[in-house]
A and B are shown apart, each in its own frame.
Chain A
Amino acid sequence: MKNEFQVIADLIEKDKKVLDVGCADGTLMKFLKDNKNINIRGLEISKEKVQECIAKGLTVIEGNAEKDLKQFPDKSFDYVVLSQTLQAFLNPELVLDELLRVGKKAIVTIPNFGYWKVRFHLLFKGTMPITKKLPDQWYNTPNLHMCTIKDFFHFVKSRDIKIFKSLALNNLNTSIINERNLGVKNLFADLGIFLIEK
């Protein structure tokens, strides 16, 4: 399991109720179910991935986060997880509002467009950055709204969203992001993980 999922799992206490939005093949769900006795649900848009989740014995709803989160009542999950997908929605603002309505807390991870490799790529090659976290070409990327750790940090602050924890990931290194080190983390982390609440 990738390091990101380990960090997410460490943020969640045992026996909680969790919704994994865009749960893909259910790797994180399975881990949370087996190791933390989490009552876990998934929402996934891809039919193939839904089938993979069912084969793992996971409860998954085929659906689209932009349309289908509204069926869940307010604060019906302890945590709602959104891993590296916020930038792919037509309306990330609306999705974030929905995550915070449905979940008591939300865990959102974002691929960082401020990562030094991304910046170097654009600066020196003059073409759209391609990195491990951003593997697609400009014409076929699902990412519509790329942002940096700094962007997201400012965005949640401006929306009165409470940040419980913000973590920077660089390969296997995890460190805490705060107002003072924001500039540095924004340069050296390829992924930001935010535990937030509204």
Chain B
Amino acid sequence: MKTEKNIKTLIVKKPLKLDCGKTIKEFPIAYETYGSLNSKKDNAILVFHALTGDQFVTGTNPITNKDGWWSYAVGPDKAIDTNKYFVICSNVIGGCMGSYGPSHKDPNQKIFGTNFPVITINDMVNAQYNLLEHFGIDKLFSITGGSMGGMQVLQFISNFPNKSKTVIPIATTSSHSAQNIAFNELGRQAITADSNWKDGDYTSNETNPGKGLAVARMAAHITYLSKKGLQEKFGRKLQEREDLKFGFDADFQIESYLRYQGSVFVDRFDANSYLYITRAMDYFDLAKQFGGNLSNAFINTRAKFFIISFTSDWLYPTQENKDIVIALNSIGADVGFVEIESDKGHDSFLLDVPDFLSALKNFLDKSYEED
């Protein structure tokens, strides 16, 4: 979809067997880095992005010309200080910012669409593991990410228990709940109900299911905010009008805001990628991979965990984050936990929430000082 300049790509030569049974090989992973890797190669942090994120963590995203998705947290002197740490982030496979995904062409030069194999969180992290070899990093200093990024964090340390010194899952879950799946299904239905979706083959039909994708984004966006946050920001305020218009235009500011969020999203995101990535999230159930016992996912790691949740996050609520803490404590793992007070909902981890950013910074810097 977008031009590929400004996108760094690693072509993974090694075949990767996916959970669905298919094998992919010679596939691209698009990545970006910030800061520099020191000579001991012990200052690398692998950041995992959430559903609609990409490799452009901070600075200006060269494709959208907007700020990177984690600009509040990552950068010089910020919580994840790029003067000190080497930050790596890659676009997940299934995504649409350069990594292997449904908008790529199959070996017969036909765009995959829904013929792209269904991928999982496990597949995503196994693909990204190749970046460690690429940079010659034996052990990361930290892995972190919020939401789906947090799921990847948990899966990564489970798959590669000795490959990171510290582990910071944020506002996440070890198992996608029925409510999470329900919201994702709503988004997928909105996309596939758009007549321009064409069973996923919209590119060769020169159409785009933009309306469906925008509705998916609007519905999801509500889940990222809190009732209190919405009420304080928008209340019943009207959009550039004195009174109700008795029609179906956007009378209320919240309507106008959501429509805007939907429309800008369509410009930067691929509808099929949205289907694939939400599916990967829905399939995520780390405990199930270990016979129903989440603790067993972490039994082989000696990494230091720090788990963060937010009071007003009802999408990945504190209790689901605490379940991870409990699983770690029950095997005597080194785990810290804090619930940050914020009325900004699930999105808190992306926003300027000083208590969150200082906790993240303190944990990283103090852990880095040790040995």
Contact = CB atoms under 8 A, between A and B. Distances in A.
Contact of B359 (A51, A58, A61, A71): A51
B363 interface: yes
A73 B304 CA distance: 19
A103 to B, nearest CB: 13
A171 interface: no
A56 B338 contact: no
Nearest to A57: B366
Contacts of B335: 59, 61
A2 B334 CA distance: 28
B366 A59 contact: no
Given A50-B338, A54-B338, A73-B332, A59 B304 contact: yes
A47 B338 contact: yes
B133 interface: no
Interface string B295-316: 0000000001010000000000
A57 B369 contact: yes
Nearest to B295: A73
A63 interface: yes
B330 A73 contact: yes
Contacts of A51: 338, 355, 358-359, 362
B223 to A, nearest CB: 24
A133 to B, nearest CB: 29
Given A51-B358, A73-B332, A76-B332, A61 B367 contact: no
Contacts of B341: 47
* B: interface residue count bin: 20 to 34
Contacts of A41: 334
A54 B339 contact: no
Nearest to B367: A57
A67 to B, nearest CB: 10
B115 interface: no
A62 B369 contact: no
Contacts of B232: none
A60 B359 CA distance: 12
Contacts of A71: 325-326, 329-330
Q: Name the prevailing secondary structure of the B interface residues.
A: mixed
Contacts of B326: 71
A28 to B, nearest CB: 17
A47 B340 CA distance: 8
A72 interface: yes
Interface string B356-368: 0011001100110
B336 interface: yes
B332 A54 contact: no
Interface string A61-84: 111000000011100100000000
Interface string A34-51: 000000010000010011
Nearest to A48: B355
Contact of A55 (B325, B339, B340, B362): B362
A98 to B, nearest CB: 13
Nearest to B334: A59
Given A51-B355, A55-B362, A72 B329 contact: yes
A39 B338 CA distance: 19
Contacts of B206: none
Contact of A61 (B336, B355, B363): B336
B332 A62 contact: no
Contacts of A56: 366
B55 to A, nearest CB: 29
B141 to A, nearest CB: 15
A74 B359 CA distance: 30
Contact of B362 (A54, A62, A72): A54
B305 to A, nearest CB: 9
A61 B304 CA distance: 13
A63 B322 CA distance: 10
Contacts of A47: 338-341, 355
Contacts of B366: 54-57
Name the 9 nearest CB pairs between A and B, nearest first: A57-B366, A71-B326, A61-B337, A59-B336, A55-B362, A71-B329, A54-B362, A62-B338, A50-B338
Given A51-B338, A54-B359, A59-B335, 18 more contacts: A47-B339, A47-B341, A47-B355, A51-B362, A54-B306, A54-B363, A55-B358, A55-B366, A56-B366, A57-B362, A57-B366, A57-B367, A57-B369, A57-B370, A61-B329, A62-B338, A62-B339, A72-B329
30 contacts: A47-B338, A47-B339, A47-B340, A47-B355, A51-B338, A51-B358, A51-B359, A51-B362, A54-B338, A54-B362, A54-B363, A54-B366, A55-B362, A55-B366, A56-B366, A57-B367, A57-B369, A59-B304, A59-B334, A60-B337, A60-B338, A61-B325, A61-B329, A61-B335, A62-B338, A62-B339, A71-B325, A71-B326, A71-B329, A73-B330
